[in-house]
Copies of this chain bind each other. A is one copy, B any other.
Amino acid sequence: MIKLYSYFRSSAAYRVRIALNLKALPYESIPVHLLNNGGEQHSAHYESINPIKLVPSLVDSEQIFTQSLAIMEYLEEAYPDTTSLLPEEVNVRANIRAISQMIACDIHPVNNLRVLQYLNKQLDIDETHRNDWYRHWITVGFDALEKVLAKQPGKFCIGDTPTMADCCLIPQIYNAKRFNVHLDDYPHILSVEASCKELPAFIQAEPEKQPDMA
């Protein structure tokens, strides 16, 4: 069975949980607590699995896979008979990947735990300014994403079925809400969220539903 090294609140792990659920691929969740024990991702054991010490990692047929978008592409290619998260048309695939990467490259990494910890410990930035930082990068990203989604018809980011882009967006919305980003200015983002929230694959992947929820 597929094993997923996950942390309930990690949005990169959350993306892969949604993708596995949409594909109806059963998996065993192995928790890696990013705060307890000095951060379990820093253990020698986990580093041997994921040298950059981030979640998620996925193990399938004794092979290790890392990086959430690469894992989703792998699942797409290794399990072609499951529900696809990337339609066939080349231009559409490119648009889906671009939205996914707007989130996974331009928003999320700048707000990752290790970055916030560096701002705190190495640069002595207080919580108020760290929260401003967090909201700033989401706002810059969501301002752009809202414009992209406004041009797209359909219930989801691209089209009327969920894709890799929705797997990325929903965890980022979760983060935005956690840090009190006002989402009223993003009607298209909220509309996609409403569509996703109707589907068990998204609901069951939520942080609060995970076995390692603190």
A residues near B (Cβ < 8 Å) are 51-54, 63, 65-67, 69-71, 73-74, 77-78, 90-91, 93-94, 97-98, 100-102, 104-106, 108-110, 114-115, 118-119, 122-123, 125, 129, 132-133, 136, 140-141, 143-145, 147-148
* This chain's copy number in the assembly: 2
In the bound assembly, the distance between CA atoms of A94 and B66 in angstroms comes to 8
Give, as a whole number of angstroms, the nearest-CB distance from A30 to chain B: 18
In the bound assembly, the distance between CA atoms of A54 and B141 in angstroms comes to 11
In the bound assembly, the distance between CA atoms of A140 and B147 in angstroms comes to 34
Residues of chain B within 8 A of A90, CB atoms compared: 74, 77-78
The answer to whether A141 touches B93 (Cβ under 8 A) is: no
Give, as a whole number of angstroms, the nearest-CB distance from A25 to chain B: 15
Which residue of chain B is the closest to A63 with respect to CB atoms?
B91
Identify which of A101, A102, A148 gathers the most chain B CB atoms within 10 Å of its CB: A101
The answer to whether B115 touches A110 (Cβ under 8 A) is: yes
The answer to whether A94 touches B110 (Cβ under 8 A) is: no
Residues of chain B within 8 A of A73, CB atoms compared: 93-94, 97
**Provided the pairs A105-B104, A110-B109, A123-B129 are in contact, do residues A51 and B98 lie with their beta carbons within 8 angstroms?**
no
The answer to whether B94 touches A70 (Cβ under 8 A) is: yes
Which residue of chain B is the closest to A142 with respect to CB atoms?
B52
Give, as a whole number of angstroms, the nearest-CB distance from A123 to chain B: 6
Residues of chain B within 8 A of A101, CB atoms compared: 67, 69-70, 104
Give, as a whole number of angstroms, the nearest-CB distance from A60 to chain B: 9
The 9 closest A-B pairs by CB, nearest first: A70-B97, A52-B144, A51-B144, A67-B101, A74-B94, A109-B109, A67-B98, A70-B98, A51-B147
The answer to whether A106 touches B54 (Cβ under 8 A) is: yes
Which residue of chain B is the closest to A53 with respect to CB atoms?
B144
7 A–B contacts from the bound complex (CB under 8 Å):
A52-B106, A63-B91, A69-B105, A71-B94, A78-B90, A106-B109, A109-B109
Which residue of chain B is the closest to A100 with respect to CB atoms?
B70
